[in-house]
Amino acid sequence: MYIIGELINGMYANIGKAINQKDKKEIQKCALEQIESGADALDVNCGPASKDAVNDIQWLVETIQEVTDKPLALDSSKPKVIESGLKVAKNKTLINSTTSDPEKLAILVPLAKQYNAKLIGITINAKGIPQNKDQRLEMAANIVAACLDHGFPAEDLYLDPIVMPVNVAQAQMRDILESIRDFKIISDPAPKTVVGLSNVSQGTLVRPLVNRTFLVMAAAYGLDAAILDPKDKDLMDAAITSDLILNKHIYCDSFLTAYRKK
């Protein structure tokens, strides 16, 4: 499982404050803690408090790059903010994210290609959130088609079926899981899949349990990547064990330690 750490996000009080005060240490600490916990990449989001996201994202990217060369997922709904981050990124990058709206795809797919970035495509559009598997597949197919039209390789695309809170959309959970599996047959080579995990547990009282149960089930449906809190050790242990059961790494008695050494 490719783990994208979600903690560098201005919506968290410590990060929002660090962005406003340009406190590099706090950001770098958060970056390194996530990596030590097993993150393969770091999400970078200025959050709602940022008044100047175009500049703030550059400061965040440069600050993080001082301490790690792990890939960065530039997270914004505004293509201008993402492009601003791409301009200063030396590390590998992911664009987080495009929707299936043609006007978004027309900007972000060429941008991903130009900067050699991977691309996260969320199966939503201006009309809203999909209500069933067919709508998800249709939007996913639109995103894949736009990528192929622009010569962007499908295997660098991460499709996100958009995970809903279990207490809001319980009836959709099975559709979401099946979408993860079915996205793979849209193209050959297949696109990859990703979820923003913590959404699934919004508003529940046992968030860690809901998160890790969903993650393990999604892994069984072939999920490639997840945006999550890598400092949740039980969650990471569950992700590592899922990979083990799927024969993605070789068993040894200390397999949890071994994975974190990789």
Partner 1 sequence: MATEVMVEKWSGEVSVVSIGATKAEGGTRSSVIKVGGQKALPYLFEEGQLPYRPVIAYEVWDISPQDWPQELISAYGAVLKDPLAWAQECVNKYKAELLCLRLQGAHPESGNKSPQQAAEFVSQLLKKVSVPLIITGCGDDAKDNAVLPACCEAAKGERILVGSAVQDNYKTLAAAALADGHNIIAESPIDINIAKQLNILISDMGLALERIVINPTIGALGYGLEYAYSIMERARLAALAGDKTVASPFICFVGQEAWRAKEAKTLAKEMPNWGPEKERGIAWEAITSSALIQAGADILVMRHPLAIEKVQKYIGQLMEG
Q: How far is the CB of 183 from partner 1 (least distance, A)?
A: 22
Residues numbered 230-249 forming contacts with partner 1, rule: CB under 8 A: 249
Q: Encode 85-95: b = buried (16+ Cβ within 10 Å), e = exposed.
A: bbeebeeebbb
* Residue with Cβ nearer partner 1 (170 or 257): 257
Please state the closest distance from residue 189 (CB atom) to partner 1, in A: 12
Give the nearer residue to partner 1 in terms of CB position, either 128 or 262: 262
**Binding of partner 1 by 257 (CB under 8 A):** yes
Pick out residues in 210-229 that bind partner 1 (CB under 8 A): none
Residue range at the interface with partner 1 (CB under 8 A); choices 126-134, 163-171, 181-189, 251-259: 251-259
List the beta bridge partners of residue 96. 75, 120
Q: How many residues of this chain interact with partner 1, rule: CB under 8 A? A: 10
Under the binding rule (CB under 8 A), the answer on residue 205 touching partner 1 is no
| 250 near partner 1, rule: CB under 8 A | yes
Q: Please say which residue, 192 or 212, places its beta carbon nearer to partner 1.
A: 192
Is 251 a binding residue for partner 1 by CB under 8 A? The answer is: yes
Q: How far is the CB of 156 from partner 1 (least distance, A)?
A: 12
Determine, following the binding rule CB under 8 A, whether residue 258 of this chain makes contact with partner 1.
yes
d(CA 219, CA 177): 9
Residue with smaller CB distance to partner 1, 59 or 152: 152
- Close Cβ partners of 130 (under 8 Å, ≥ 6 residues apart): 123, 124, 136, 139, 162
Q: What's the alpha-carbon Rg for the chain, to the nearest Å?
A: 18
Q: Are 124 and 130 in contact (CB under 8 A)?
A: yes
Closest CB to partner 1 among residues 108, 157: 157
Where do contacts with partner 1 occur on this chain (CB under 8 A)? Answer: 249-254, 257-258, 261-262
